[in-house]
């Protein structure tokens, strides 16, 4: 791959903190009909979501009711982003906590959405962005610790929320945190110097990423029953835990001893390299993959190199088999930059993500199984 495929929620969070334009608190617009895109040799059909306001950030997560969330920008300024919810043919702008921008990161089966939002600024304020939960049409500020910047990254079906608080100087580090029905709990950093939580399942197991002491690299972790455990790597120096299901299976990305970025699944103490799509086997320069989510049946989604030219496609992995989910754009483009990414999968095997093509043509996507495929 040669390029890092680890597109973290943190990058979007820091973009949100720089928004300059104020827009209405929230509104709804009727969606156009989704457009099917030919994908004749795949097990899934790509359905392009309508994009009244265009988006370069894609659809980020989907619950088992088929409701999905993402982040859209208002042309012509690509730095102006708001969280959005798409359900039953309606887009809803989730607004902000009084600041300029917001970013949605996860949604549960109760339609609760979590993420981060700018807050109203004052000259001496350091906590410029706070974690939020959007529930029943209202964005609720989850607060922070010690004037830090906070972000919520995952919510389970019991309403437990995880994320992080990034403390200002002189600390300049992050702590993983849990919001337990209104109470913020500092999970600390465990064996790391800095840590952020990225996911929580219905059992209460929490995953995240931390920085080992004296290192600039990151390692994925599992937190359960008060203990934060380093998941290690696939032989390299970096790993990141991105998704966890209710069976305790964890997926993410790690470097190998050769320096390649590979998707992994971690279970019962063992991290397994998922490899790459079949066409990349034994092809020089075609070596990268990245897992972003896993459902309760063990279906994994993410992104993978498809050739040595650097092109990347969304994938679905099940029982050792990769499925290339394709892209609506003609493969190639300037510097082979056209492709797709999958961010989330629900228990109906619906997959959400984005396609990227010509400048300004990033598209949020929903891949829906053909009839009979979801039950397999």
Gap between the Cα atoms of 89 and 190, Å rounded: 44
Distances (CA, A) of 189 to 164, 212, 226: 10, 10, 11
pLDDT value for 151? 97
Q: Is the dihedral of CA 93, 99, 101, 103 positive or negative?
A: negative
pLDDT value for 297? 97
pTM of the model: 0.85
SS3 labels along 144-212:
CCCCCEEEEEEECCCCCEEEEEECCCCCCCEEEEEEECCEEEEEECCCCCEEEEEEECCCCCEEEEEEC
pLDDT at 73 exceeding the cut of 80: no
Q: What are the structure tokens assigned to 241, written together?
A: 């835990």
pLDDT value for 283? 64
Q: What percentage of the chain exceeds 90 in pLDDT? A: 55
pLDDT value for 155? 98
pLDDT digits (tens, 9 = 90+) for 113-163: 999 999 988 776 766 899 999 999 999 999 999 889 999 999 999 999 999
Per CATH, the homologous superfamily of domain 9-369 is Peptidase/esterase 'gauge' domain (2.130.10.150)
Are 22 and 100 contacting, i.e. CB atoms less than 8 angstroms apart? yes
The stretch 74-78 carries a mean pLDDT of 63
Which is more confident, 271 or 276? 271
Q: What does the mean pLDDT of the chain come to?
A: 82
Gap between the Cα atoms of 116 and 10, Å rounded: 10
User: What are the domain boundaries of the chain?
Assistant: 9-369
The stretch 92-116 carries a mean pLDDT of 95
Angle at 201 between CA 195 and CA 206, to 5 degrees: 20
72 confidence band (pLDDT: 50, 70, 90) = confident
pLDDT value for 289? 92
pLDDT value for 85? 93
Which is more confident, 47 or 354? 354
Gap between the Cα atoms of 133 and 227, Å rounded: 26
DSSP SS3 for 280: helix
DSSP SS3 for 109: coil
Helix spans in the chain (H): 9-16
Gap between the Cα atoms of 167 and 150, Å rounded: 9
Q: What are the structure tokens assigned to 140, written together?
A: 């609720």
pLDDT digits (tens, 9 = 90+) for 166-219: 988 767 799 999 999 989 999 999 999 999 999 999 999 999 999 999 998 999
pLDDT value for 38? 40
**Any residues with CB less than 8 A from the CB of 146 and at least 6 apart, and which?**
165, 167
Q: Residue 47 burial by CB count (10 A; 0-12/13-18/19+): exposed, middle or buried?
A: middle
Q: What are the structure tokens assigned to 260, written together?
A: 């390649």
**Any residues with CB less than 8 A from the CB of 220 and at least 6 apart, and which?**
207, 208, 209, 230, 231, 239, 240, 241, 250, 252, 254, 266
Which is more confident, 246 or 363? 246
pLDDT value for 2? 34
Are 36 and 320 contacting, i.e. CB atoms less than 8 angstroms apart? no
Gap between the Cα atoms of 217 and 212, Å rounded: 7
pLDDT digits (tens, 9 = 90+) for 289-337: 999 999 999 999 999 988 777 778 999 999 999 999 988 776 555 555 5
pLDDT value for 123? 74
11 confidence band (pLDDT: 50, 70, 90) = very low
pLDDT at 51 exceeding the cut of 90: no
246 confidence band (pLDDT: 50, 70, 90) = very high
Residue recorded with tokens 């608080």: 165
């Amino acid at each position: 791959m040669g390029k890092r495929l680890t597109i973290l929620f943190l990058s979007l969070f820091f973009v949100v903190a720089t928004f300059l334009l104020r827009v209405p608190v929230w509104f709804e617009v009727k969606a156009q009909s989704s457009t099917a895109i030919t994908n004749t040799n795949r097990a899934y059909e790509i359905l392009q979501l309508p994009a009244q306001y265009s988006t370069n950030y894609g659809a980020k997560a989907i619950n088992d009711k088929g409701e999905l969330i993402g982040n859209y920008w208002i042309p012509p300024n690509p730095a102006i982003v708001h969280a959005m919810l798409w359900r039953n043919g309606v887009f809803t702008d989730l607004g902000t906590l009084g600041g300029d921008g917001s970013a949605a990161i996860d949604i549960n089966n109760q339609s609760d959405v979590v993420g981060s939002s700018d807050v109203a600024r004052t000259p001496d304020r350091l906590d410029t962005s706070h974690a939020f939960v959007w529930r029943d049409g209202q964005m609720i500020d989850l607060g922070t610790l010690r004037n830090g910047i906070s972000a919520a990254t995952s919510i389970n079906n019991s309403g437990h929320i995880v994320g992080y608080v990034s403390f200002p100087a002189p600390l300049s580090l992050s702590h993983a945190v849990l919001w337990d029905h209104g109470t913020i709990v500092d999970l600390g950093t465990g064996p790391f110097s800095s840590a952020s939580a990225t996911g929580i399942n219905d059992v209460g197991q929490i995953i995240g990423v931390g920085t080992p002491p004296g290192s600039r690299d990151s390692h994925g972790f599992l937190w359960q029953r008060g203990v934060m455990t380093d998941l290690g790597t696939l032989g390299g120096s970096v790993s990141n835990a991105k998704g966890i299901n209710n069976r305790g299976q964890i997926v993410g990305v790690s470097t190998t001893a050769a320096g390649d970025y590979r998707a992994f699944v971690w279970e019962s103490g063992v991290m397994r390299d998922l490899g790459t799509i079949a066409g990349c086997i034994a092809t020089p320069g075609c070596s990268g993959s990245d897992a972003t989510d896993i459902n309760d049946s063990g279906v994994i989604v993410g992104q993978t190199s498809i050739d040595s030219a650097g092109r990347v496609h969304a994938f679905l992995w099940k029982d050792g088999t990769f499925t290339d989910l394709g892209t609506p754009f003609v493969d190639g483009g300037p510097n082979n930059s056209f492709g797709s990414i999958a961010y989330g999968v629900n228990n109906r095997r619906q997959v959400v993500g984005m396609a990227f093509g010509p400048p300004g043509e990033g598209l949020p996507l929903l891949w829906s199984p053909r009839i009979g495929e979801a039950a397999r």
